[in-house]
Chain A
Amino acid sequence: MNGRDLVDALGPELLALLRSAGRIELERFCLELDELELRIPLGAFAPANGRVPATPVPERPDQLLPAEYVPERYTYPGRIREVVLGATRRDGGSRGRSLTIGGAEAPAFSLFDRPVVNLPVIAMDVFDTRVPMPKALRAPFEEVRDDPAEWARLNVSRYGAKVITVHLLSTDPLIRNASPRDAAATVESVLQAVDVPLIIGGCGDPRKDADVFAEVAAMAAGERLLLNSVTLEMATAKTLEKVARAASEHGHNLLAFTGLELNDAKELNRRLYEYIPPDRIVMDLTTVALGYGLEYSFSIHERARHAALMGDAELQHPTISGSTNAWAAREAWMPMAPTYGGPELRGPLWEAATALSLLLAGVDIFMMSHPAAIGALRRMISALCAWPLEEVPEGHANDWVTAPLGGDA
């Protein structure tokens, strides 16, 4: 008999007994139950005659009543798979080091009851062609915008990028329709310019991307690239198998992209399992900018992570966020009244806030652009991942109440 049945069976009798009882004493009482909560709210059993006795005004206790706090530790049956990005020479690639993402055993940055398995990673964007971009976003990269290899080098040397995303937008049939071979040459030049792991972004056309990814996968065999991305549209266009087989054969990872819909994410993963080991799959559940639906991204990531930790193997993959999407919000880049500052301030804050929400929802790797946004997220990650937790800085407990503060006060 489980707890609920027991309550149903005994409940009415207990209620009847309690109704006339002034106090309850349990003797030689043994209760062994899972998940039974017994709670007798004050006032729930008012005397049957309907008169509520006047409650006297309580006296002030003489001193603080003691109380303890014992943190509850929750464990989860599931675990997020680990995915390795980039391969070193020893592993058949040419990267200076590889990075592991995933491995979470509990919701991210919530109860902080165990060390973070693998630190969240930030990948910096490189675009292979000039696309319209807010000025504040492109300003830090103005001198390298026509050379993906230089751009990648700048990201690594000046901004300390640990991973580079090369967005092969030139392959878009609506932009330049560059050939797969040209795209592969671009990737090759970036591989030679920097030795960090790479993410390779396509143009979003399911046929063209398949051709490009297949070419790039073969050219960079063994490098453990992350191909960004494969979609259900590719399944419809019958190009999914081609990309998945190429990734599998040449030792790369796949990014499975779906639009804010967990059933789609699961379906796409199931299709991919036919071709590639699950520990080669990262999920992109879609990042929408703050103010433009970020809350849907936030909740879908929380739901996915929770389901994965509760044992849904089809969702036990690390997740990625294209946080540069934050710049799609006009509040990030538009000129506004003076109180709203310039886009060079608003934009990075928008990108950082978008990424931060998804960091708390458990995202493992971020594709970002603006150095100031990246700096803010890095500080956040290092503050949140310290183990054991940093002590409260001496003398900073509720300083804000009485301290004279700067700012615009």
Chain B
Amino acid sequence: MARRSITETSPIEVYRLLPRTNCGECGEPNCMAFATRLVNRELALEACTPLAHPENAEALAALEALLAPPVRAVRFGTGDRQVTIGGKYVVSRHEFTYHNPTACAIAVDDASPREVLQDRVRSAARFSYNYIGRDLGIDAIAVRSTTGDPARFREAVETVQQACGLPLLLCSPDPAVLRAGLEAARDRRPLIHAADRTNWREMGGLAIEFGCPLVVSAPDDLAGLRSLTRTLGAWGIQDLVLDPGTFPGTGLARTLRNFARCRHAAIRGDDELLGFPLLGAPIAAFAGEEIDPVRCAFDEAIMASALLSRYADLLVLQGTAGWSLLPTLFWRFNLYTDPRKPVAVEAGLREFGSPDRNAPVLITANYALTYFTVESDIKAANLSCYLVVADTGGLSVESAVAGRYFSAAGIAEALAASGIADRVDHRVLVIPGLAARLSGEAAEATGWRVLVGPKDSSGLGPFLKEHWPPRPA
């Protein structure tokens, strides 16, 4: 029984192993619908309660084997802050949606004074940027022991836990230091960093004793990583994370190669010993030769971006400035969207403020980001207007114009479908500045007068102030 890739697994096959009672306890109308959603990774096996009955043990095991990702899903933290990393089925995102977005951890160290530590943790935990209606932020805190002193480490872990509820990574090569930290974070199921060739006995012991997942570390040594996962696996420790090393500067090639080798081996080569989530440490940019902190943060952001594209499931970061975090958090969010569906909003007519029959009529694309940007600019400028959202296949105005998804004919259709002609007395349409070249054809196709608006919707307020009501043509 060979494990096939997730994209080759048929819902029928899954359906045959389900109870086929159509009980509906999973929330789906029937078992076939549930099977389809399982294969699409939209629901998990746990949703099927009858499968938990002992008489279904065999079927459950077979289903688990059939649906198991070649890269194990590993959880750390507890409660609603728990983070799941890994659980990957494919190498490239266009093959099948990536699941479990890369967790981003901010590092703190046990040498920092208590107040400094608290501030850093609180500001990291509070960091939030609203993007397409979602809040992008940090997922975990990595506590590093730079003192090597168990008492200091214990204190630092306690301080961090009081300051925030984020899941923790506890980082030290010294088992005695980690024990102190684990005792302080007993109830939080932190991730332990890390077991290596020399300390694996003690680290494995800690993972078992505290019931925590464990990172295995073998810098630039994949045979060493396999040896560690094999040994710890034989000892019954399955919740493992791989750290093949992240090397700054010219070490990037080796870093990326190791990440790609691990992921290809797990998915294309079915290598169970490398089938674990990958930890990347862009923080290494601060441990290289560069000492200018701005340059280090710049390099860290670049390295984070590269590691996100190359399969990292967890990132440890040092920089907490918004400018260096934004590209990382954006790219993480973007990579984990469904590549088959553009992030789109529904086409149709939106109303802002209290538009009357002379209110401006604007049109834009239905790419979610475009829409939310325009929406927030309209609200910020306190405009009363109508906004026609055209179906551009979920593309932004610029791409949609280039790809001919936003055309004069499309504008005419969107205008007609919106019913806006009945809501206003005028016939003047403001099109986005980035669609300026459609203005002539759009006027012809719609019979409306077309005004070319600003290229960026932040200019809508001033634009309308100057051009609305429109001067007679």
A interface residue numbers (CB < 8 A to B)? 7, 11, 36-41, 43-44, 46, 48, 50, 52, 57-61, 63-69, 71-72, 109-112, 132, 174, 204-205, 232-233, 257-261, 264, 286, 288, 290-296, 298-299, 302-303, 306, 328, 330-331, 334, 336-337, 339-341, 345-346, 349-350, 352-353, 356-357, 360-361, 376, 380, 382-386, 389-393, 396-409
Q: Is the CB of B235 within 8 A of A60?
A: yes
Look across to chain B and name the residue whose beta carbon is closest to the beta carbon of A346. Answer: B323
Q: Roughly how many angstroms separate A401 CA and B402 CA in the complex, as a whole number?
A: 48
Q: Is the CB of B339 within 8 A of A349?
A: no
Q: What would be 11 A-B contacts, judged by CB atoms less than 8 Å apart? A: A72-B265, A111-B261, A288-B398, A298-B93, A341-B323, A349-B298, A383-B250, A389-B254, A399-B287, A400-B283, A404-B146
- Interface mask (B322-349 → A, CB under 8 Å = 1, otherwise 0): 1110110011001101010010000000
Q: Is the CB of B222 within 8 A of A69?
A: yes
Residues of B within 8 A of A261 (CB): 403
Most buried by A among B94, B171, B396: B94
B interface residue numbers (CB < 8 A to A)? 1-3, 54-55, 57-58, 61-62, 64-65, 68, 92-94, 107-109, 111-112, 120, 131, 144-146, 148, 171-173, 193-194, 197, 200-201, 204-205, 217, 219-220, 222-223, 225-228, 230-231, 234-236, 243, 245-254, 256-257, 260-261, 264-265, 268-270, 273, 281, 283-284, 286-288, 291, 293-294, 296-299, 301-302, 305-306, 309-310, 316, 318-324, 326-327, 330-331, 334-335, 337, 339, 342, 367, 369-370, 373, 395-396, 398-400, 402-405, 436-437, 455-456, 458
Residues of B within 8 A of A328 (CB): 398
Most buried by B among A57, A59, A353, A404: A353
Q: Roughly how many angstroms separate A357 CA and B331 CA in the complex, as a whole number?
A: 9
B-side binding surface: helix, strand, loop or mixed?
helix
Look across to chain B and name the residue whose beta carbon is closest to the beta carbon of A7. Answer: B2
Q: Roughly how many angstroms separate A405 CA and B108 CA in the complex, as a whole number?
A: 10
Q: Roughly how many angstroms separate A137 CA and B55 CA in the complex, as a whole number?
A: 67
Q: Is the CB of A396 within 8 A of B326?
A: no
Q: Is the CB of A397 within 8 A of B324?
A: no
Look across to chain A and name the residue whose beta carbon is closest to the beta carbon of B324. Answer: A349
A288 contact from B245, B260, B399, Cβ within 8 A = B399
Q: Is the CB of B61 within 8 A of A353?
A: no
B7 to chain A, nearest CB (A): 14
Look across to chain A and name the residue whose beta carbon is closest to the beta carbon of B320. Answer: A408
Look across to chain B and name the residue whose beta carbon is closest to the beta carbon of A261. Answer: B403
Residues of A within 8 A of B302 (CB): 349, 352-353, 356, 376, 380
Q: Roughly how many angstroms separate A299 CA and B342 CA in the complex, as a whole number?
A: 12
Q: Is the CB of B396 within 8 A of A39?
A: no
Q: Is the CB of B339 within 8 A of A299?
A: yes
With known contacts A295-B334, A353-B331, A397–B219 Cβ distance under 8 A: yes
Q: Is the CB of B273 within 8 A of A390?
A: no
Residues of B within 8 A of A376 (CB): 298-299, 302
Q: Is the CB of A50 within 8 A of B456?
A: no
A57 contact from B225, B236, B321, B402, Cβ within 8 A = B236
B173 contact from A48, A111, A205, A401, Cβ within 8 A = A401
Q: Roughly how many angstroms separate A267 CA and B187 CA in the complex, as a whole number?
A: 60
Look across to chain A and name the residue whose beta carbon is closest to the beta carbon of B311. Answer: A110
Q: Roughly how many angstroms separate A40 CA and B293 CA in the complex, as a whole number?
A: 52
B245 contact from A7, A330, A346, A397, Cβ within 8 A = A397
Residues of B within 8 A of A389 (CB): 253-254, 257
Q: Is the CB of A258 within 8 A of B403?
A: yes
